[in-house]
Amino acid sequence: MFEDSYILIIIVSVLVILSYSYSALSVRTKIPSVLLLLLTGIVARIAFDKMGYEMPSLKIALQFFGIIGVILIVLEGALELKLRRDKIWLIVRSFFSALVILAVSAVLIASGIKLMFGEFTFYICLVNALPFAVISSAIAIPSVTGIDEEKKEFIVYESIFSDILGILIFNFIITNPTLEASDFTWVVADFFIIIIVSVIVSGLVLLFIDKTTMNIKFFLMIAIMVLLYAFGKIFHLSSLLMILFFGLILNNLNLFSTNKLSKYLNIEKLQNGIDRFKMITAESAFLIRTLFFFIFGFTLQLALLLDFKIILSGLIIIALLFGIRFLYLKLLARRNLYPELFIAPRGLITILLFYAIPKEFSIGAISEGLLFFVILVTSLIMMFGLLRSTYKIPEMEIYIGNDRIEK
């Protein structure tokens, strides 16, 4: 079946149309579009099995779309973040919220895994626990379009920081089973290398946008970002930080001296180019996210969801995640709990880190079924939280040129 190109074209086209419909439905019903994509994948798998089609292995495709999805989602989020002095405290609070909740959740989940499966070392348990501790910006960011602006920005920053910190800590633990002083020295050096590379790449990209006369340039920029990310991962650099810094620099040119920039660059042309780049990044992230969650749903083994151990393990993990979040927001952050407490879904990064666990560190009980259960329940909790909060349905916006019409 999959050898027929036209069938594949039809499937992908219908999937994109459905995903767009799910996004529109999500605004009205608060049902995360990701859940609908996962269910679509599950239903498609059941239908194909009934028709007797032999399914090819899609694990590599899932990992590929996951990596590209992470890059685009972080880039999309960074391109939406404006750095201002009045937001410094918000950024600091969201960073520490992401860091503390991530670290404490990972340690407690690892302790729970160690308690249930005593034959594994705490190190192996921690490697398997980390994916569950990371908030999914791929689900959280699209879901908060209608809430209070300050709360929305907190969730956007927190979820992006959680993604980045989760990947950084996971890679650090995987590559450094025994911690030594030289490992921490490398972390500091890595950070400065990434900043330098980000500034250089951003400058070259700005020059490219300003000087080139070609209309086809933005996918080239995305390709360069993906290439640099891949090279960074090969050399064990924190590539995702580079993507974050790159997006922040492009979206915060106002922090630099406009007079100095105007000597070398056409600011108006540059801003138009950055606006177009934002749009293409958002569209690309939407497409990759659609394919990723559909494929994940398609590859799920439904029998795993009926396993009592998976349900029990999933409920314990979820209770730990939201218990820690409640205590932090209530006692340390001293924030209003609605809807921030509930917006902590697991998703793309959880799946991606799970597949990145080396075979020698794998625990059989931590399966795709457990991942799906945690993703499903945390997304439903988020939906409940949004329904409980003073959620506003955003007006539909139509853009004609640079003018906006609201309906």
The pTM (predicted TM-score) of the whole model is 0.81
SS3 of 206-233: the string is HHHHHHCCCCCCHHHHHHHHHHHHHHHH
Question: What is the per-residue pLDDT across 282-294, written as a single tens digit (0 to 9) for each?
Answer: 889 889 989 998 9
Name residue 264's amino acid: Y
CATH for 195: 1.20.1530.20
Mean pLDDT, rounded, for 360-382: 86
- Expressed as residue numbers, the domain containing 340 is 5-406
d(CA 142, CA 368): 24
Angle, CA of 194, 249 and 273, to the nearest 5°: 125
Greatest alpha-carbon pair distance for the chain in Å reads: 66
pLDDT digits (tens, 9 = 90+) for 216-242: 778 888 888 888 888 887 776 777 788
List Cβ neighbours of 378 (8 Å cut-off, separation of 6 or more): 318, 321, 344, 345, 346
| Domains of the chain: total | 1
Does residue 33 register a pLDDT over 80?
Answer: yes
Return the closest-CA partner of residue 133 out of 382, 374, 379.
374
